[in-house]
């Protein structure tokens, strides 16, 4: 499968901060939804901002659409990529004015697409951005991103601030967007159930690194969640766990399941992966 985005050995250090992005590499195939999970301050937003060249990278390479470099060919890269990051909507101007600015800036802008989503979400485009709720702002930014007909959508916490109905609607839009097998969606989220429903791949981000990239199938094949009474002698096989008064639950590699007796085994969710590979590992 052809990759729509390739990130190789991406690194970035920040002045006055111990935090760094360290040697991050991953590929996103065309026609897929790629989710990033991680704790707060793990580095998800920073990786996405490095991809959009909002932060200058120290080293590494980011290419998309074959050979389009995100810095060398920045206008083309951004023309073909839709971003929903932070809140870039000015308080003092209307949604309509922002759409006008976008229509001039992007060569593939299609007003009908923007209007379709704005009408679907009942947003009054004459409103000032300051009058929009958090959820409405996200919807406007998504409509703006889709309006210029990108081949790839990059979104930072897009479901944050949306009600369940709007979240479901957005996930449907993602699925529809990638359905032609040519386009892709990359998004970060804290809400792991969104990934369970949509993501073809997940990347686990921790301390500025991507510790693992898995498909849904690989997750099931590689890991299992076990729960039992006592951890005597088997703790070293647990990748992460949480203890309670009635016993423990933890994540293990399936190849190590043979070491566990009298335990209940189930398939892991992405939340389990996040919880046990990062938080549980630290014994939190």
Partner 1 sequence: MILKKLKQILDLVTNSKDNKRTYIIQIIVAVFAPVLAMFCYGKGSVIMSSLVIIFTLAYMAVVGDIYPVKSGTGLSELFDNRKNKSLLTMISVLPLKHRELTVLFVNRTRKIWVTFIASTVVCMILEKFVSENIEIGNWLMFSGIISLNWLIWTIICFTNNGAIKILSWLIYIILPIFLFVIMIISEIADIFMISSAEGLFLMIVPYIIFEVYTHLSVLNIRKDYAHNGQRVKEG
Q: Which spans of this chain sit near partner 1 (rule: CB under 8 A)?
A: 14-17, 19, 38-46, 49, 52-56, 74-79, 83, 85-91, 101-107, 157, 205
Say how far apart CA 169 and CA 214 lie, in whole Å: 25
CB 262 to partner 1: min, Å: 39
- Residue among 74 and 176 whose Cβ is closer to partner 1: 74
Token pair, residue 204, equals 């686990």
- Residue among 53 and 269 whose Cβ is closer to partner 1: 53
Contacts of 219 (CB under 8 A, 6+ apart): 202, 268, 270, 273
CB 279 to partner 1: min, Å: 14
- Residue among 42 and 251 whose Cβ is closer to partner 1: 42
CB 105 to partner 1: min, Å: 5
CB 107 to partner 1: min, Å: 8
- Residue among 71 and 253 whose Cβ is closer to partner 1: 71
CB 27 to partner 1: min, Å: 22
- Residue among 101 and 265 whose Cβ is closer to partner 1: 101
- Residue among 48 and 225 whose Cβ is closer to partner 1: 48
- Residue among 110 and 222 whose Cβ is closer to partner 1: 110
Q: What is the dihedral of CA 22, 203, 280, 250, to 10 degrees?
A: -140
CB 201 to partner 1: min, Å: 20
CA-to-CA dists, residue 122 to 22, 117, 139, 247, angstroms: 42, 8, 10, 50
CB 185 to partner 1: min, Å: 16
Contacts of 113 (CB under 8 A, 6+ apart): 143, 146, 147, 149
CB 78 to partner 1: min, Å: 4
- Residue among 19 and 259 whose Cβ is closer to partner 1: 19
């Amino acid at each position: 499968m052809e990759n729509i985005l390739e990130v190789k050995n991406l690194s970035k250090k920040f002045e006055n901060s111990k935090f760094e992005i360290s040697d991050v590499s991953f590929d996103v195939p065309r026609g897929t939804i790629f989710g990033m999970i991680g704790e707060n301050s793990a580095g998800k937003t920073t990786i996405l901002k490095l991809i959009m060249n909002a932060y200058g990278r120290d080293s590494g390479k980011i290419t998309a659409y074959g050979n389009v470099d995100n810095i060398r060919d920045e206008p083309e890269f951004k023309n073909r990529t839709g971003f929903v990051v932070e809140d870039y909507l000015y308080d003092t101007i209307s949604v309509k004015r922002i759409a006008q600015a976008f229509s001039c800036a992007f060569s593939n802008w299609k007003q009908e697409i923007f209007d379709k989503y704005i009408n679907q979400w009942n947003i009054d485009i004459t409103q000032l951005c300051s009058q929009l709720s958090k959820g409405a702002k996200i919807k406007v930014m998504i409509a703006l991103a889709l309006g210029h007909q990108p081949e790839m959508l990059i979104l930072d916490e897009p479901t944050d601030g949306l009600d369940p109905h709007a979240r479901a609607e957005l996930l449907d839009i993602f699925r529809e967007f990638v359905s032609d097998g040519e386009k892709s969606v990359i998004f970060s989220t804290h809400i792991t159930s969104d990934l369970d429903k949509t993501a073809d791949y997940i990347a686990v981000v921790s301390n500025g690194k991507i510790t693992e990239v898995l498909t849904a199938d690989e997750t099931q094949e590689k890991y299992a969640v076990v729960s039992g009474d006592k951890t005597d002698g088997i703790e070293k096989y647990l990748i992460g766990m949480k203890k309670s008064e009635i016993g423990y639950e933890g994540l293990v590699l399936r190849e190590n399941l043979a070491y566990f007796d009298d335990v209940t085994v189930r398939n892991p969710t992405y939340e389990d992966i996040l919880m046990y590979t990062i938080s549980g590992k630290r014994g939190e």
